[in-house]
Structure 1
Amino acid sequence: MDDAAAAARAEVPGLDLGALRAYLDRETPGLLEGELSARVLAGGKSNLTYAVTDASGTTVVVRRPPLGHVLATAHDMAREHRVITALRETDVPVPVTHACCEDETVIGAPFYVMEHVAGTPYRRATELAQLGPERTRAISERMVDVLATLHAVDPQAVGLGDFGRPEGFLARQVKRWGTQLEGSRSRDLAGADELYAGLTRRVPADQAPAIVHGDYRLDNLLIGPVAPVGAEVDLRDEVRAVLDWEMATLGDPLTDVGLLAVYQQLARLGAGGAMITDVSEAPGYLPLPELLARYAERSGRDVRDLGFYVALAYYKLAVILEGIYYRHTQGQTVGAGFAEIGGYVEPLVAGGLRALKEES
């Protein structure tokens, strides 16, 4: 092995390229050829995502759970693979899936392999500002439209009728995230117990169920031009793929809307820093009232009473970040930017308490 190949292998903790090579040769012969190299894709702070490239330049994406401490029921590769595969024939843009391996002995964890889709996951307002207000508005509109399209998919029609238990979904969500927090809690968190108690008391009645993404936001979408049609290329900024389906299930679609509303407000939490997405601050980005109105128009759903859903979204994000912070303190994270993540948890909890107070 030459020095370049050795360096490529050394840069991908959590992914044994030799074992991956053997698995792909056996399960998907011809998908990749020759020596493999890989790099960790930036952005995700939960599951690990790698771009794996062969000698010819063909690239695929590999997803696996994080290293070390993994919360119960989280990071289910088979579920994520299943929902992406099921949605392939719908109007929801998703990558093509190639393989799913639940045998932890292959690379040390379950994983799946999917198409590498070209596109940009916009995370910063400065990135969108370079496009101008008109393109930024169009991108944020299409983000909303794709969410409404997802929520219109009939789960039974795509083989996902048993993908979740819609009855009692919201009550279970509150309980689940409370349990997850206890599994990662290593310090006192001001207001966390109060927020959990408030959510428990205010669970609304179940909505008509839909396929829920669970972490829908702009930087989980790949934006770019659509494929060539004849001799012409449509250069509009389209949603080319929706990514990061690790929390997808069947349930109340307004949980996705509440979470999108929280992502809209993160830049104003006061925590700041590169870990907090601030795309909603870009000129032209849909203001929250217009975003909600567009979703209501496209989906036909009532979004007037979102207080509980917004509070639940704040709590969920707080729990997720606390889990990431815990893994960082144990030396089990891969990539940069984790040192500051623990400082965002209490501002998120405070945001959830405000949402419940405003609702009441």
Structure 2
Amino acid sequence: MGIDPAAVTGWFGDLGITVAGRLTFGRIGLGQSNLTYLVTDDEGKRWVLRRPPLGHLLASAHDVAREARIMAALADTDVPAPRILGVAQDPAVSEVPLVLMEHIDGQVVDTMEIAESLTTQRRREIAVSLPRTLAKIHAVDLDRVGLSDLAGRKPYAARQLKRWAGQWEQSKTRELPELDDLTRRLVAAAPEQTELSLVHGDFHLRNVIVSRETGDVIGALDWELSTLGDPLADMGSMLAYWPEPGEDTGGDFPASTLEGFPDRAELARIYLDETGRDPEALKFWHALGLWKLSIIAEGVMRRALDTPANKAAAGTPTAERIDSIVRKAREIADSAGI
């Protein structure tokens, strides 16, 4: 759905990619934003194709061509990201932009079944690689890779708060005074910007490919929300996706509550030791990460209601889960004095 096989096959030829027989397309991943497909030919060669979601799109959202530009710029850095093979912006190929990238042969831990199949040692190996990969992303020389103009340089916290508060107003399915109150508190507590780096914007366990041999991250995926900003925002977002035993914010995927996965404090220590950044400043970004996660989840719920074809195998967030994320965000904000 959303792909013209004949047109895409012709585009492969234009890119100089040799295809054996017929291309087949299968939806992969559990993401419910941009749609991702595994493309396979008759000899078993594999590629990955990405396009925006079906239905109505909010302005500036789901820009796969911009995402491809970022990933292509990282080709000669220490950041593990799939290699971009082509971007189609021709209506003869597709009514929306398409991005073709290499297929990385590794493991994606995106279901509880996979997470539960891992040894406790492998869970730990994967987990400790996550903050170390973030440190590599934040060390990218923006001028050298040509990304210094990726976004404006106004204070990142204010930009994030304005953008996501606006997304909430456009996509909410109900009134949620607790979230509105948290928005006001975060705006009042927004820190001054002291450094600027590439930020991934949506870095968590489900958005990476890991080595089957070592557990190291070998591919960081889903760069749709990447921009320039405060590097601690990425770490705060990752912590937001890392529930601990007894917490109910993980929805269908509380993998980090399994034995072997370290707690949030240890992940934060690994990142802060690698980068020398401020542990106190991280608290604000953890609260903001949960706030943003609740807004993203509400948007997914709204899109699934409006266009059922956008639903992914992971199911759709519920209002109850979104409310629990907001409660946790308020708890973190309270503990940080926000």
1:127 partner SS:
helix
User: Is residue 132–residue 283 contact of structure 1 (8 Å, CA) maintained in 2?
Assistant: no
Residue matched to 2:166? 179
User: Matched residues in 1 for 2:24 and 2:114: separation?
Assistant: 28
User: Is residue 325–residue 338 contact of structure 1 (8 Å, CA) maintained in 2?
Assistant: no
Render the CA deviation track for 1:40-69: whole Å, top value 9, x for unaligned: 003211110000111221111011111112
1:45 to 2:45 alignment: no
The one of 263, 266, 271 equivalent to 1:287 is 263
Residue matched to 1:358? 335
User: Is residue 209–residue 217 contact of structure 2 (8 Å, CA) maintained in 1?
Assistant: yes
Given the superposition, is the C-alpha separation of residues 312 and 33 from structure 1 closer, same or farther in structure 2, using an over 3 Å criterion? same
Total equivalences in the alignment: 336
Render the CA deviation track for 1:169-206: whole Å, top value 9, x for unaligned: 11011000000111112322241211111111111010
User: Is residue 129–residue 136 contact of structure 1 (8 Å, CA) maintained in 2?
Assistant: no
User: Matched residues in 2 for 1:112 and 1:101: separation?
Assistant: 6
Residue matched to 2:131? 144
1:22 to 2:16 alignment: no
Note the 1:334-353 alignment, pairs <5 A.
Answer: 334-353=311-330
User: Matched residues in 1 for 2:148 and 2:332: separation?
Assistant: 32
Note the 1:134-283 alignment, pairs <5 A.
Answer: 134-225=121-212, 235-265=213-243, 268-270=246-248, 273-274=251-252, 277-283=253-259
Given the superposition, is the C-alpha separation of residues 284 and 125 from structure 1 closer, same or farther in structure 2, using an over 3 Å criterion? farther
User: Matched residues in 2 for 1:131 and 1:185: separation?
Assistant: 37
1:219 partner SS:
helix
Amino acid at match of 2:235: V
1:89 partner SS:
coil
Given the superposition, is the C-alpha separation of residues 159 and 272 from structure 1 closer, same or farther in structure 2, using an over 3 Å criterion? closer
Given the superposition, is the C-alpha separation of residues 321 and 273 from structure 1 closer, same or farther in structure 2, using an over 3 Å criterion? closer
Amino acid at match of 1:258: G
Given the superposition, is the C-alpha separation of residues 47 and 306 from structure 1 closer, same or farther in structure 2, using an over 3 Å criterion? same
2:242 partner SS:
helix
Residue matched to 1:8? none
Gaps of 5+ in 2: none
User: Matched residues in 1 for 2:92 and 2:185: separation?
Assistant: 43
Gaps of 5+ in 1: 1-12, 226-234
Given the superposition, is the C-alpha separation of residues 147 and 340 from structure 1 closer, same or farther in structure 2, using an over 3 Å criterion? closer
Residue matched to 2:52? 65
RMSD over aligned Cα atoms = 1.9
1:191 partner SS:
helix
How far is 1:124 from its partner? 4.5
How far is 1:73 from its partner? 1.5
Render the CA deviation track for 1:255-285: whole Å, top value 9, x for unaligned: 10101111112775436642xx322112221
The one of 302, 319, 333 equivalent to 2:278 is 302
2:209 partner SS:
strand
Please identify, of 99-108 and 46-55, the stretch whose mean Cα deviation from structure 2 is larger.
99-108
User: Is residue 190–residue 346 contact of structure 1 (8 Å, CA) maintained in 2?
Assistant: no
| Aligned residues with identical type, % of pairs | 35
Runs of 4+ in structure 1 deviating by more than 6 angstroms, as ranges, are: none
TM-score (norm 1): 0.88
How far is 1:130 from its partner? 3.0
User: Matched residues in 2 for 1:110 and 1:199: separation?
Assistant: 35
Given the superposition, is the C-alpha separation of residues 70 and 269 from structure 1 closer, same or farther in structure 2, using an over 3 Å criterion? farther
How far is 1:222 from its partner? 0.5
How far is 1:129 from its partner? 4.1
User: Matched residues in 2 for 1:17 and 1:342: separation?
Assistant: 37
